Amino acid sequence: MENILSVKGIKKSFGGVHALKGVDLEIKKGETHCLAGENGCGKSTIIKIISGFYKPDEGTVEVEGKDYPVMTPTDAIRAGIQVIYQDFSIFPNLTVIENLAFNQVLATGKKMVNKKEFRKIAEDAIAKINFDVDLNALVETLPVADKQLIAISRALLDNAKLIIMDEPTTALTKKEVRRLFEIIEDLKKNGITILFVSHKLDEVFEISDSITILRNGENVISCSTSEMTEEKFAFYMTGRNFDNKELVENKKTEHGEVVLETVNLSAEGYENISFKLHKGEILGITGQLGSGRTELSLSLFGLNKPTSGKIIIEGNKVNIKDVTTAEKLGIALVPEDRLTEGLFLSQSIIRNITVTRMDALSNKIGILNSKDVVRESAKWVEELGVATKNHEFPVGTLSGGNQQKVVLARWLANNPKVLILNGPTVGVDIGAKYDIHKLLRKLASEGMAIIVVSDDTAEVVATCDSAIVMHGGHVKGILENEDLNEAKLAEAAV
């Protein structure tokens, strides 16, 4: 099978930092090729070179045998290359019709258009992938999955031959991922090639025909997916061997006294939830999107007021009316969306770690002790293994996994009794995921009570001692010991 894309010896530096050190990438026509690697390995840079956004310092790009010494964005589009980035590059304040039709109309140079022409273009676009959507809807009102399908439909209007999907499943539910994979298979049947950029091990093995893994701007391996194993994939990605059995074996069946208890707790999103969380226990709360798992976690942190039932902390009934009350009771919450809810991206790592400790790090008249602030930040950077050359850098410069460690550090600095984590490893790579899981088991062994809210069944099995399975706002099962496995979790969640 001939190559649709052949990239050879690509080098690219930014201010003396070598992002790519001679990368090769070959993709055959009609296949789904996975480009994998941890954050910072060079995936985004190579994508931008292929699409003409960056000019390489060295190396060549060939599309269907034609050499492009200097690929431009226009060259890439004419060659049939389309990139669907994580933000989809669509206009939220325009309708679906306008998002789909504008490019086509602009390309013709027309200055006057009519609604019928716009609608016809849009209808043809969504028909290509059997996408059912209200064409008059504003894009900002649509779910993430529909926005992604709009981007795919638009790419097909431009006669795409190679569609590059950059981390396409980050914000999708399992059902939406399944729909996306069905569309990818249909695109392949129609002769369209997919470059699937991801670090999610299970998805890579399910959807890809071949794999290229980068690490530190260099090729590690390229092979067919059938030649790869999960253990090899994790090692090639990180250069490390992971022992998930160690995490499972460190689980406890005996725990300390009850730290937190709910009795018939009800609020918006769920009702009549009762459970007990013990000292040193990791409790999973899992279920599909809309199960009520997130709403329950927010109630425990004062962000979703209960309508009935009780919350009991160390034997005392409490009214968690707001976040300040939750913090005083020793409860911490690591939110689901760290970028908008958990971090001040433009502020330094130091400030992000110590923001909840300002009072403790200030003197009687409220002046911060800068040495104590630096010392506190450095302690957590080292303890959690935050990969940074300088903790005065903005936290936005860190990879997703390291940003998550900073959010964790902020709350751990308060020494909470109960740590709630909503989607603790969403969007982080394999190495950071393992590090976070290992940290949670360590914290539990030291007596911290932990709640992990996640729809990642593998994560729940690896980290949790027991798990509550929710569906439609109700508890559908409580699993522990040998019953806590992926098959039973999935069965209970449906």
User: Was domain 3-241 assigned CATH 3.40.50.300?
Assistant: yes
Gap between the Cα atoms of 4 and 31, Å rounded:
10
Phi, psi for residue 304 in degrees, rounded to 5: -150, 95
Would you state the structure tokens that stand for residue 150, as one six-digit string? 């709009």
For 158-199, where are the alpha helices, taking DSSP H only? Answer: 174-189
User: What is the DSSP secondary structure assignment for residue 368, as one 8-state letter?
Assistant: B
Same fold yes or no, 3-241 and 245-493: yes
Domain 245-493 has CATH 1.10.260.40: no
Domain-wise residue ranges, the chain: 3-241, 245-493
Q: Mean pLDDT, to the nearest integer, of 69-85?
A: 92
CB burial readout 207-216, b (16+ within 10 A) else e: bbbbbbbbbe
Position 278 scores a pLDDT of 96
User: What would the DSSP string read from start to end of 61-116?
Assistant: EEETTEEETT--HHHHHHTTEEEE-TTTT--TTSBHHHHHHHHHHHHHT-S---HH
Q: Is 77 left (phi over 0), alpha (psi -120 to 50) or beta?
A: alpha
For residue 75, the surrounding DSSP H or E stretch is helix 73-78
3-state secondary structure 369-380: CHHHHHHHHHHH
Rounded to whole angstroms, what are the CA distances from 221 to 169, 225, 231? 23, 11, 14
pLDDT tens-digit profile of 411-421? Answer: 898 899 999 99
More confident of the two residues 10 and 352 = 10
Residue 333 pLDDT more than 90?
yes
* Average pLDDT score over residue span 429-443: 88
**Closest to 328 measured CA to CA, from 236, 402, 422, 416:** 416
Share of the chain above pLDDT 90, in %: 55
Residue 399 in this model has a pLDDT that exceeds 80: no
pLDDT digits (tens, 9 = 90+) for 45-68: 999 999 999 999 999 999 999 999
Q: End-to-end distance of the chain based on CA atoms, in angstroms?
A: 41
